[in-house]
Each structure stands twice: as C-alpha cells, then as structure tokens.
Amino acid sequence: MVHRVSGVALTLFLPLHFWALGNALHGEAKLENFLRWSDQPLVKCAEFVLVLLLAAHMAGGLRLLMLEFMDWHSVGDLQKTLLAGAAGASLVVGLLFLLNLL
C-alpha cells in the first residue's frame, strides 16, 4: 500500500517540479524569487516528506523485485524482513536529508 500511495504522490508532484524547472527558462529573477520562496520552513518540511516518499517508493520497488526473483516457497518469513528493511532504509534516507536541511 505504501508503494502505491507514494507512487501516486510522486506522480502528483511531477507537474510542480516541471513548473519549478520552467522558472529557470524565464530568467534569473523569476528563478531567484522561486528559490527564495522555497526557503520557507513549510516548503522544507514538504521536501522532507517528498524525499521520504521517494525513498519508500524505491525501497518498496526493490522489495517487490526481490520477491519476484526469489523462490516463492521461502517468501513467508522473508516478506516481513524485506518490508521492515524497506521501511528502515526509507526512514534513514529521509532522516539524512532532514539533517542536511538543518
């Protein structure tokens, strides 16, 4: 479920990302205004959530790939271990990004 929700959230973010990149094409002043706006604490919090979602989506995708290419008979206990590993890796990546912001 986390993999799907994070995928939808990232898909909704893409147009905003392209809009921000488009500001660079309209001159330095417009991009500078956007970058100044992006220094707000709420935007920084949103960036942290975005990186956390991206890490969760990547870790969930890697977990699904591992399940697909492994033997199905031994998946029972491994499923919980892979899920915990994916969640832990996502949290570590998100926290490292948050530490970089501070």
Residue that the structure tokens 């969930």 belong to = 60
Per-residue confidence (pLDDT) for residue 73, from 0 to 100: 59
pLDDT at 93 over 80: yes
Percentage of residues of the chain with pLDDT beyond 90: 1
Tokens of 14: 């893409």
Evaluate the CA torsion angle 74, 69, 3, 53 in order and state its sign.
positive
Give every CB contact of residue 37 below 8 A, 6+ residues apart in sequence. Answer: 43
Residue-wise pLDDT for 29-44, tens only, equals: 888 888 888 888 898 8
- Give the residue-averaged pLDDT of 34-58: 86
User: Residue 40 in 3-state DSSP?
Assistant: coil
**Spatial separation of the C-alpha atoms in residues 55 and 59, rounded to whole Å:** 6
Q: Which domains does the chain have, with CATH numbers?
A: 2-101 (1.20.1300.10)
The confidence band for 102, taking pLDDT boundaries of 50, 70 and 90, is low
- Give the residue-averaged pLDDT of 61-76: 72
Q: Which of 44, 65, 51, 45 is nearest to 9 (CA)?
A: 51
The confidence band for 76, taking pLDDT boundaries of 50, 70 and 90, is low
**Spatial separation of the C-alpha atoms in residues 93 and 100, rounded to whole Å:** 11
